[in-house]
Amino acid sequence: MEGLLYLAYDGRGREAELPGVTVLARAGAGPLDGDIALPGGLHQASKGRALAENTRPSRSRNGRIRRTLDAAELGDWIDRLCQTDGVQRLAEYREKAEQVADAVGAPEEGVARLSQMIGAALGTQQVRTSSKALAARQASLPYDQDRIRRFDRLITRLRESAPQSRPVREPRDPRYTYLPFFEAYFSNLIEGTEFELDEAIAVVYDSKQIPGRSDDSHDLLGTYKVVSDLDEMTALASTADEFIQLLRSRHATILGGRPEKRPGFFKETANRAGDSLFVLPRLVAGTLRAGWERISELDTAFERAVYVMFLISEVHPFDDGNGRLAPVMMNAELVAGTQSRIIIPTVFRDDYLGGLRRMTRQDDPSLLIKSLRYGHDYTAQIDFSDLTRAADILRATNAFNEPDSEQRLTLPGSLGLQG
């Protein structure tokens, strides 16, 4: 139940129904030193006081949320405070909580437990905790709680969505001969590395480098080297450590020709796209691990592919090359699950990126799932056994058009071009 505001004041308990909110005033201490004065005579509890208040036991009544946090929620909040406010401030909050404990009626054992939990977040002691976030921080693998909630939302929506299956006959069937080339070609376009098709063919199949564009040529070749290796593309992780290693090794291959991009090493400085700040460097390893551990909740290769792609895109673990790596990881799940790969043609790029942005900014996975479902259908309908013929189909279905083209991506089958 939402729309509840709990207040503490020196008087008897009272309730008031206001538009959009129910105010529940409960007997407690009035304003204390450090509380923040607000308009209308109200005060916002200092963080130290709020921590102390949340050591008091409470229970849900009449379907309403509890007045105070349970042990796991309190641990999660301590972890968040450590991340956002820093260790020095958190230590100050602990000191304040201990100072006001008697005034707010916090139980002695609750305050002692609070002090231990904060010590765990600060790295000065170890405690057993029901908070997964605090436990991860104790293990030196803190993660981004907001991202984990976003991943859980995507998992829920994927499990609620209609099944999606486009099985392949056999991964080495001639029908898929040139699919890895077009996968690498369009994947590099997502990152803004543009080639004419003939140039890309010369780079991949004739070992030529485009004059003045050796870095871009290396990126295309590195991506192709990964996606054209069926042994590599059928390798899936069975542990979080293996997942991290796959990420590092595939990234190292993709950007192997550009040592200045630190191929295979996680970022050391924050990165962003527009207004979206990706996971902070110190939270990358923990967020990837906590995210990967949820993949077992998904049943199909398509579900896992969408999820892994978004996991990499949302964390953005490397300085560069994340836009190439995310589709590679997605298609590895599909290949290993004997499903058609997904290519993201130039004209479809904004649909794909728009789905990512909506998920990141609005927690809405609908557009992302819809766009990748369409891309899956589209790719499965093309016969890639002949390079020229495949290029002709892609051209006829508007794949090479710019994203702002009035002609959108058309399913080959609707034009009678299905292979």
3-state secondary structure the chain: CCCEEEEEECCCCEEEEECCEEEEEEECCCCCCCCEECHHHCEECCHHHHHHHCCCCCCCCCCCCCCCCCHHHHHHHHHHHHHHHCHHHHHHHHHHHHHHHHHHCCCHHHHHHHHHHHHHHHCCCCCCCCCHHHHHHHCCCCCCHHHHHHHHHHHHHHHHCCCCCCECCCCCCHHHCCHHHHHHHHHHHHCCCCCCHHHHHHHHHCCCCCCCCHHHHHHHHHHHHHHCCHHHHCCCCCCHHHHHHHHHHHHHHHCCCCHHHCCCCCCCCCCEECCEECCCHHHHHHHHHHHHCCHHHCCCHHHHHHHHHHHHHHHCCCCCCHHHHHHHHHHHHHHHCCECCCCCCHHHHHHHHHHHHHHHHHCCCHHHHHHHHHHHHHHHCCCCCCHHHHHHHHHHCCCCCCCCCCCCCCCHHHHCCCC
Strand 14-18 to 4-9 pairing: unpaired
Q: Which of these, 407, 394, 411, lies nearest to 186 by C-alpha position?
A: 394
pLDDT along the chain (419 residues), means of 10: 78 84 84 91 92 89 82 96 96 96 93 96 94 96 97 97 94 94 92 85 89 84 96 96 97 94 96 88 97 96 98 97 95 97 96 95 96 97 96 96 92 81
| pLDDT score for 127 | 94
| pLDDT score for 86 | 95
Rounded to 5°, angle at Cα 83 from 265 and 266: 5
| pLDDT score for 9 | 81
Strand 4-9 to 36-37 pairing: unpaired
| pLDDT score for 61 | 75
To 10 degrees, the CA torsion angle through 408, 410, 415, 419? Answer: 150
Q: Which of these, 144, 118, 127, lies nearest to 54 by C-alpha position?
A: 118
Query: pTM above 0.85?
Result: yes
Per domain, the residue ranges of the chain are 32-138, 145-415
| pLDDT score for 419 | 64
- Which CATH architecture is the domain 145-415 placed in? Orthogonal Bundle (1.10)
| Torsion angles phi and psi, residue 183, rounded to 5 | -60, -50
CB atoms within 10 A of CB 373: 17
